[in-house]
Each structure stands twice: as structure tokens, then as C-alpha cells.
Amino acid sequence: MKKILHVENHGIVRLAIRYLISEVESSFEFYEASSFGDAIQILEANPLDLLIMDVLIPQGDGFRMITRIREIQPDLPILVLTQLPEELYAIHYLKAGVSGFISKSASNNDIRDAIHAMMNVGGFMSKRTQRQLINNSFEKKGHSNPLETLSQRELEVMEMLLDSRWTKEIAQTLHITESSVSTYKARIFEKLKVVSMIELYIKVENIKNTGH
């Protein structure tokens, strides 16, 4: 019997995913966690076959969560199921060590297919992300998507800036100094060629819509 953990702080989403799993796997043991701390306790006590997780969860720490999970269960297939835009974050999380990434805005059929792939081959990549990787590999002059030039930490800081977080709050969440936040912000502005938060908002929206 396969053991599956779903880390998600919305009960209705956990219920829906449990139903989708039942459509592709007749017999399974389902664990639930609403915070990263709860997930770690389950991971330390139970060898699992699949982890499905949102990355916007209480006690979460962005990409560092993946590193922590890998320290406990190095070979565990991890599927990120999140509201974060796939075109902006999928490749970054795949590089960080997850096995698959899909948006909550995807259809039930697509999410079901992703779960089926994870349980049978241990990985999943949507057609959109596949195209994005192919486009990047054939891009002769640097990155086709400017966000690909950002480091994982810069991407985390950018997401919080776009969420109207204050410098102090970002520093506390990421366990870094406020001056470090300012440094990351300056790097983000430089790499994306913007000079204000308004320009940053516009730039990111354009990338979402056009991919560059």
C-alpha cells in the first residue's frame, strides 16, 4: 500500500486531492499536514511513496523546504501543487530538487495525470514547462525568460516584494538581515532592468503574459 502525504493548509483542497488520488490508486494510506512543521514530523516518522505539497504554507521557507525534505527522505518524489504561476516558478523548483510542478489552476484531468505520473514514474513535467525548457535551451543570447536570471533567493524576495511585504517582514521570514533584503532587491531591479516597484509589477505581468 502506497503512503502519500499532502501538505496543504486548506482542508477543501486536501479533500479534493484525496479524491483525485482515489481515481488513480485503489489502495493507499493518506497523511495530511497543514503546516511545514507538521509535515516534517510525519516525514521523520514514516517512509513515504509520494509527497504532494503547496509551497505557500504556514512555517514554510520557500526553496529551503525542499532541501530539508531531501535531508530526511532523499529519494521521495515531490509534486508541488500551488497557486504560484507555473511559467515563473516551475523551472526554479525543479532545479531545487522537486520531481514535478503543477498549478492549482490546472484542470482536474491535468492534476490527476500529474499524480498518476508521479506514482508510476516518479516525475511529472507539464507541456508548458517542457516548451519553456526547450525555448531556453535554443535561446542563443542568454535567457528567454528574464526571471531565469534570478537566483532562488532573489525569486523568493521578489515574490514577497510583489506581495507588498515590508523589508523587516521579509528579513524575518527568510532569516536574513534587512540589509541583505535591500541587496537582493537591488540585484532584482538590476537584472530585470527596472527602477521602481511599479515597473517591477509591470515587468512581471508582461513576463507572465508573453514569457519574456
Q: What is the mean pLDDT of each run of 10 residues along the chain (212 residues)?
A: 96 96 92 97 96 93 92 96 89 91 94 93 88 65 71 88 87 90 93 87 80 62
In this structure, the number of other CB atoms found within 10 A of the CB of residue 172 comes to 13
Which pLDDT score is estimated for 105? 92
pLDDT of residue 199: 86
Q: If you compute the radius of gyration of the chain from its CA atoms, what whole number of angstroms results? A: 18
Report the C-alpha gap between 100 and 94 in whole angstroms.
7
User: Tell me: the pLDDT tens digits for 121-153?
Assistant: 899 988 888 877 766 665 545 556 788 888 888
Q: Residue 138 has what pLDDT?
A: 55
Q: What's the confidence (pLDDT) of residue 175?
A: 86
**Which residue type occupies 56?**
L
- The domains found in the chain, sorted by start residue, are 2-133 (3.40.50.2300), 146-210 (1.10.10.10)
